[in-house]
Amino acid sequence: MSLLTWVDAYSIGNEEIDGHHKKLFDMFNILYESSGTTAGGSIVYSMLDELLYYADYHFKAEEQLMIEHNYVDTDMHMIRHSYFIDTVMGLRRSEGLGGDELAKETVKFLGNWLLLHVTKEDSKIAIYF
């Protein structure tokens, strides 16, 4: 069962960026659904690699749009994106945790961050479109 469900209220009024957010939700749900199972521990490392790659791609596109639309809080927003990348990289490198534990930690961080960031921070950009 999915934990993060996309609803139209999360739209920031840009189809490309909304598509990225939906994909990030999907990635989270795959990890959430497999965490606590044997699959969760084995896919978490490749999921984190995929997440780092895709989040970087998404953040660059979003930041470019903010710059183009003269979004007033771009610098602070970029710092929030960097925090995400640093945290996910830290999780990826945490050798001490087993796969199962790492999957649980990742689900905890990712679910909270993603939902809050999309609904509270990315949503502020909507009025600039």
The contact set with Fe ion (CB under 5 A) reads 62, 122
Q: How far is the CB of 1 from Fe ion (least distance, A)?
A: 24
Q: Of 81 and 104, which has the nearer Cβ to Fe ion?
A: 81
Closest approach of Cβ 62 to Fe ion, in Å?
5
CA end-to-end distance (rounded Å), the chain: 34
- CA–CA separation, 66 and 83 (whole Å): 18
Q: Which is nearer to Fe ion, 44 or 62 (CB)?
A: 62
Nearer to Fe ion, 25 or 32 (CB): 25
Q: How far is the CB of 106 from Fe ion (least distance, A)?
A: 18
The residue whose Cβ lies closest to Fe ion is 122
Whole-number Cα distances in Å, 46 to 25, 52, 66, 99: 16, 10, 30, 11
Sequence-ordered list of residues with C-beta below 8 angstroms from that of 79, at least 6 positions apart, any chain: none
